[in-house]
Structure 1
Amino acid sequence: MRIPALTATVALITSLTLSLAGGAAADPAGRHADGGRFDRPYTGFAPAGTVLRPGTPGDAGLDAAPIDAFERRMAGWEDPAAGTGYLFPGATTLMAHDGVVVERGAGGYAVKYADAADELPPDQWVPARTDTIYDLASLSKLFTSIVAMQQLEAGRIDLGTPVAHYIPEFATGGKGDITVEQLLTHTSGFDADPVPSLWQGYSDVPAREKAVLDAVPINPPGSTYLYSDLNMLSMQLVLEKVTGKPLDALVRDGITTPLHMTDTGYNPPADKLPRIAATEYQTSPARGMVRGQVHDENSWALGGVAGHAGVFSTVDDLAVLAQTILNGGTYKGHRILGGNSVRLMEQNFNQAFPGDSHGLGFELDQIWYMGGLSGPQTLGHTGYTGTSLVIDPQSRSFVILLSNRVHPTRTTPSTNPPRRAIGVAMSQAMRVAAPGGGPLWYSGQGGATTSTLTTGPLTATAPVDVDFSAFVNSESTDPLVVEDSTDGGATWHALPLTATGPGAPAGTPTSLSGQAVRAWWHVHTQVPQPSGALQLRWRYTTDPVYEGRGITLAHLSLTSLHHPLPASPTPAGAWHLLPPPRD
């Protein structure tokens, strides 16, 4: 059974108040009066005094229904009876907006299996809890990146400087021109993983570190985006060289201690084992059921402390880190980064590689796991064990999913559906309101779905002008289309659309799709000279892969020779009429 969301359980509220906010409420100063509005994005950082606190979706100006629906879907993903819908033994989630933690839940089991095939006796199963500690896998790269930003601020490293300047032996194998920036943006030219694996090919830690230094790129530096663990393994060696300290000490002293992230770090102590989720039953290397040690074999071979993997944490601790980023690098009076460093993490350094947007350390604008929160500034990362973190500065929101999807084996379905779903739920919980008010037509729908709004037959002997307002948040390949038919709906023809909106003067040709702009557009098209019984429809079709928040329409207007025509369309699919939101 999934532990209920925060809003339903007093015990969880008490727990979260103590663990996240220290009993203090956040200062709401600086929040605009439209908190909870997805169509009025924030600019700049949240007030530095924003402190996380528990609350209901209503407290944050949100609609609880999408959040509740997400909780129900999570229960299915954690249930073996769901068949192919079963994704992970256990998971813990957290959602926050404007400093209010509006969802915090857990379900399934942190420990369930004895080996790769056999379950433990049921009385030995360990339920997942809201304070379960998970192996973050590649979310660890964010901690390495934050340490790198701290050393950038301290003047110990420079983005444009070759790594070999700090570690001369790194220049071997044609790596003399690889820069710090290229390590942080995965454009160094490295292959995805060390070959051979560090745990297989080398006898001790010094030999494994030398193997990282000796790695030979497979592409020229700066020519290709290729996500690679070798980038952060190399970054670790740079950071340790310029500071004289090991990475775990840098993370502890520079991040987790000042932010009081007491459940976050490498190689968790034995007294925390009862709260740690198990991961994989490994036979090669012969580690058995891994619990309390890092899952990643290369990190394990380096003693559990590595630039690419090794950090363990909880949703509560990660929530503090996420709010710190939203606050511009500070939390409860403790600053771990300057505002300029946070802006660099939000800046896309990979414009030469469309689709692979990347700040310094953080991925940007990845709808495949960010869902409806994706956008040019949205930061995040995923982890192989089934973890994800998405931070959306434009709505001052973040969502966290931690799971042990590799328990007991890594041959499990993708966890991307729940990763996207938690982002979609948060985005749909935030309101939009039509310019000037009025009811809304809304279609938020799953993949491989078509929804239509279709007028009845229209009598017109002169050109028909079609005008409406649209708020669009969809995958770029999932456009809203306006079509006409003069044969009773047997055939439909797409009409060219022009739009007026942010950065677009009146009459700009447009395709109504994408997530780059969170603003309303005024859209116009025209049926030049109708023949027969004219019908119009608004059609929104999603492909089977990703979805954003959805499409919202308002102020549907049809006129011919300045005379209004009836515009009361019939919905099919997911379209439904919403009342004007209350302020």
Structure 2
Amino acid sequence: MSVPHPSPGPSSGARAAVLSSGNVSALTSGGTIRSELQPHLDEAVASRVAPAVSCAVVVGGSELPVLTAGAAGPDTFFDLASITKLYTTVTALALVDRGVLELDAPIGRYLPPYSRGDKSSVTLRHLLTHTSGLPSEWTGWHAALSQGQSFDRKVLLAELLTTPLEAAPGTRFAYSCAGYNTVMALAELVTGTPWAELVQYWVLERLATHDITGTPRLEHCAPTEFQPGLGRGMVRGIVHDEAAWSLGGLSGNAGMFATADGLRVFGSAFLQGLPGILSPALAAEMWLAQLPDMLGAHFNSAEPAFGQGLGLRINLQPWMGVEGTQARGHGGFTGTSLLVDKAKGIVIALLTNRVNPSRDGDDATALRKSVSDVVYSFA
């Protein structure tokens, strides 16, 4: 599949539509919101939750100025970690919209390792809703690293696709990074196009912002973890997630970088239904709770308590806040989160490098919740 150069995407207009809908009270209360949010960011730095924090908010249809604390400025790029899965979802669904992929067809028609046994019933929808039965992590990169070998992406992807299921498809929900890297492998095989080019063409160019990328300049990035044991030293400007690192960087599960404002642009596009990127039907499908239908008799309404859309997490407590019961979004291991609430007109892009210099500290959940609660109090 060739990737032609697209015409300018309309999402900058979608962002303008969000702004033009702002009401006077939201505009005039911006200073108060900022004065209430800033101490939470400052305290996160002071208490060593993270050395750098950046936050961009839409509330009441109005964008507030980007807030920062510690070693971050408005133009600092952060490793988004698993928020990348939302970009993966949108890229895959854009291919569904164009008839290149199918949401509910077995992926085994394209991927031979998925043509037999329980794996033969795995669909793209299974992968996007974490109901495929795949394990949480793929660790095939360990062997090459332990043997002192360089990573061979083609070999590693082939190994990834042989990952056995831990459960039959549609019988459990279990968050799976392996599943999202399988989405990447599927899209690359069907289109014949490298993953980074697919994400760039179907999503990033249509968002009309330079503040989201899979290849940031090192000097513009907040550092993540110090990993001498993996021979990486201080990781900066290179994806923190080890599986994505072994696969060359931007992958299905991780590898996207953004400023807080860049991530806010993505969130604002969700508020408007991803115009120019997805059809209204598929954009709406992303928002819907998928687990009751995907799990059927295996669905337990009490467990999990949160919901799962296509890519989007729903009511993910505790970080989405007390009033975020209708919120959608995603968090990232590095200390990042994106929250979108259509009913309230809210976007919260909160970025930290809480894994710097080590992942063993605070996971930033309390910070995420406190920021969400403040923003909701003004909605």
Fold shared by both chains (TM-score > 0.5): yes
Alignment check: 8 A CA contact 2:321 2:372 kept: yes
- Identify the residue that residue 248 of structure 2 maps to in structure 1: 303
User: Equivalents in 1 of 2:268, 2:307: separation in Å?
Assistant: 22
1:363 aligns with 2:331: no
- Identify the residue that residue 127 of structure 2 maps to in structure 1: 183
Alignment check: 8 A CA contact 2:56 2:66 kept: yes
* Counterpart residue identity of residue 255, structure 2: G
Alignment check: 8 A CA contact 1:52 1:101 kept: yes
User: Equivalents in 2 of 1:314, 1:55: separation in Å?
Assistant: 23
Question: RCO greater where, 1 or 2, for CA within 8 Å and sep 6 or more?
Answer: 2
* Counterpart residue identity of residue 44, structure 2: W
| Structure 1 residue matching 2:366: 3-state secondary structure | helix
| Structure 2 residue matching 1:345: 3-state secondary structure | helix
User: Equivalents in 1 of 2:26, 2:32: separation in Å?
Assistant: 14
Equivalent residue in structure 1 for 2:75, among 123, 126, 131:
131
- Identify the residue that residue 287 of structure 2 maps to in structure 1: 346
| Structure 2 residue matching 1:91: 3-state secondary structure | strand
Equivalent residue in structure 1 for 2:63, among 101, 111, 127:
101
- Which residues of 2 match residues 431-580 of structure 1 at below 5 A? none
User: Equivalents in 2 of 1:259, 1:223: separation in Å?
Assistant: 36
User: Equivalents in 1 of 2:191, 2:226: separation in Å?
Assistant: 37
- Identify the residue that residue 35 of structure 2 maps to in structure 1: 68
- Identify the residue that residue 290 of structure 1 maps to in structure 2: 235
- Which residues of 2 match residues 135-150 of structure 1 at below 5 A? 135-150=79-94
- Identify the residue that residue 261 of structure 1 maps to in structure 2: 209
| Structure 2 residue matching 1:372: 3-state secondary structure | coil
Alpha-carbon distance change, 246 to 57 in structure 1, aligned in 2, over 3 angstroms: farther
* Counterpart residue identity of residue 363, structure 1: R
- The structure where helix makes up a greater share of residues is 2
Equivalent residue in structure 2 for 1:274, among 219, 237, 241:
219
Deviation by residue 1:344-392 (Cα, 9 ceiling, x = unmatched): 111000132542411111111112211134224x210001111000000
User: Equivalents in 1 of 2:21, 2:365: separation in Å?
Assistant: 27
Alpha-carbon distance change, 263 to 67 in structure 1, aligned in 2, over 3 angstroms: closer
Deviation by residue 1:372-429 (Cα, 9 ceiling, x = unmatched): 34224x2100011110000001111110110111111111112001111111111111
Alignment check: 8 A CA contact 2:26 2:60 kept: no
Q: Quick check: 97-106 or 274-283, which moved more?
A: 97-106
CA RMSD of aligned residues (A): 2.4
Aligned length: 356
| Structure 2 residue matching 1:142: 3-state secondary structure | helix
Alpha-carbon distance change, 196 to 60 in structure 1, aligned in 2, over 3 angstroms: same
- Which residues of 2 match residues 30-45 of structure 1 at below 5 A? none
Deviation by residue 1:196-255 (Cα, 9 ceiling, x = unmatched): 445647852112101111000111111111001011000001111222211110111111
Equivalent residue in structure 2 for 1:403, among 352, 369, 376:
352
Alpha-carbon distance change, 243 to 98 in structure 1, aligned in 2, over 3 angstroms: farther
C-alpha displacement at 1:169, in angstroms? 2.6
Equivalent residue in structure 1 for 2:169, among 209, 221, 231:
221
1:336 aligns with 2:307: no
Deviation by residue 1:308-352 (Cα, 9 ceiling, x = unmatched): 01111111111111111111212xxxx111211111111000132
Alignment check: 8 A CA contact 1:134 1:403 kept: yes
User: Equivalents in 2 of 1:215, 1:344: separation in Å?
Assistant: 28
Alignment check: 8 A CA contact 2:85 2:180 kept: yes
User: Equivalents in 2 of 1:59, 1:296: separation in Å?
Assistant: 38
- In structure 1, runs of 5+ residues without a counterpart are 1-20, 27-46, 80-84, 110-127, 431-583
Alignment check: 8 A CA contact 2:18 2:272 kept: no
- The structure where strand makes up a greater share of residues is 1
User: Equivalents in 1 of 2:17, 2:174: separation in Å?
Assistant: 36
User: Equivalents in 2 of 1:55, 1:290: separation in Å?
Assistant: 39
Alpha-carbon distance change, 280 to 395 in structure 1, aligned in 2, over 3 angstroms: same
Equivalent residue in structure 1 for 2:138, among 173, 190, 194:
194
1:247 aligns with 2:177: no
Q: Displaced runs of 4+ in structure 1, greater than 6 A?
A: 53-57
Deviation by residue 1:169-215 (Cα, 9 ceiling, x = unmatched): 33357411111111000011111101344564785211210111100
Alignment check: 8 A CA contact 2:30 2:64 kept: no
User: Equivalents in 1 of 2:145, 2:121: separation in Å?
Assistant: 29
Alpha-carbon distance change, 174 to 200 in structure 1, aligned in 2, over 3 angstroms: farther
C-alpha displacement at 1:48, in angstroms? 8.1
C-alpha displacement at 1:103, in angstroms? 4.4
C-alpha displacement at 1:51, in angstroms? 4.6
C-alpha displacement at 1:67, in angstroms? 4.5
* Counterpart residue identity of residue 337, structure 1: L
1:391 aligns with 2:340: yes
Alpha-carbon distance change, 56 to 417 in structure 1, aligned in 2, over 3 angstroms: farther
Alignment check: 8 A CA contact 2:52 2:353 kept: yes
% identical aligned pairs: 29
Alpha-carbon distance change, 423 to 389 in structure 1, aligned in 2, over 3 angstroms: same
Alpha-carbon distance change, 323 to 167 in structure 1, aligned in 2, over 3 angstroms: same
- Identify the residue that residue 153 of structure 2 maps to in structure 1: 205
- Identify the residue that residue 426 of structure 1 maps to in structure 2: 375
